[in-house]
Amino acid sequence: MAAVPRPGSSPRTRIKRLATKTVRDTGVLYAILDAGLVAHVAVNGPEGQPYVVPVAYAREGHRVLFHGSTGSRLFRGLAQGVPTCLSVTLIDGMVLARSTFESSMNYRSVMVLGSCTLLAGEEKLAALEHITEHLLPGRWAEARHPSKKEAAATTVLALPLTETSVKVSDGPPDDVPEDVELPIWAGNVPIAETFGRPVDAPDLRFDVPVPDYVKRWTR
């Protein structure tokens, strides 16, 4: 079996700006993708206009799965193998330096370059299950599965993680030495993502309690 390419292994994914934030660990690549819920996918439209589309996704092994409408011209292009770029960014906190120039964010980010493969048949259904379970753990076993009509209206794509880059920024502010003497507060403000209390649908017709698997969701 061929070795899995590490992040930053190609000239196009070698980070030059703030290269010290580069991460070459495939495990970190997987962890960031597994923690995210939304990716942004870039594609050029027929007229040459670039578009960036948010998509729900899931990682399965060494590839990313995502879906969209078969009626979307952008997804039709992706399904035909048009080159794309997918990115996921997780914001962990605000970094307040004593100057606005040095102030920043703590974040974890992934960029993936490549071309997608169109999934069909049982592989397509398995991918939809995988995406559902990434976003809504436990839901696939209870909810109604896609009908033939719904499946036909859905494009499911797989993007291999063969050309990637990973960038992580963490730690305290990095002020220039002379600014340390200024009487200005500096530090980090963490950002935490949480699930709120479940709210019943207004048309819920039965006295159905919130499922235990939903109560167990954490971020």
pLDDT digits (tens, 9 = 90+) for 123-139: 999 999 999 999 999 99
Longest Cα–Cα distance of the chain, Å, equals 67
pLDDT at 16: 74
Strands (E), 7-62: 22-23, 38-44, 50-60
> Considering the domain boundaries, does residue 40 fall inside one?
yes
Q: Which residues pair with 188 in a beta bridge?
A: 95
pLDDT at 10: 86
> Considering the domain boundaries, does residue 216 fall inside one?
no
Do 91 and 105 meet the contact criterion of CB atoms below 8 Å apart? yes
Q: How many angstroms separate the CA atoms of 153 and 11, rounded?
A: 38
Q: How many angstroms separate the CA atoms of 131 and 129, rounded?
A: 5
- Structural domain span for residue 45: 11-193
> Considering the domain boundaries, does residue 213 fall inside one?
no
Q: Is 57 exposed, middle or buried (0-12, 13-18, 19+ CB in 10 A)?
A: buried
Average pLDDT by stretches of 10, the chain with 219 residues: 77 78 89 97 86 96 96 90 96 97 96 97 97 97 95 97 95 95 97 95 92 95
> Considering the domain boundaries, does residue 61 fall inside one?
yes
Q: What are phi and psi for residue 193, nearest 5 degrees?
A: -105, 130
pLDDT at 2: 60
How many Cβ atoms are within 10 Å of 13's Cβ, its own excluded? Answer: 18
Residue partners of 7: CB distance under 8 A and separation at least 6: 13, 22, 23, 24, 25, 26, 28, 29, 110, 164, 165, 166
Tokens found for residue 111? 């960029």
Tokens found for residue 147? 């009908």
Number of domains in the chain: 1
> Considering the domain boundaries, does residue 74 fall inside one?
yes
> Considering the domain boundaries, does residue 210 fall inside one?
no
Do 13 and 170 meet the contact criterion of CB atoms below 8 Å apart? no
In CATH, what number is assigned to the domain containing residue 31?
Answer: 2.30.110.10
> Considering the domain boundaries, does residue 180 fall inside one?
yes
> Considering the domain boundaries, does residue 89 fall inside one?
yes
Tokens found for residue 216? 């167990």
Tens digit of each residue's pLDDT (9 = 90 or more) over 75-103? 999 999 999 999 999 999 999 999 999 99
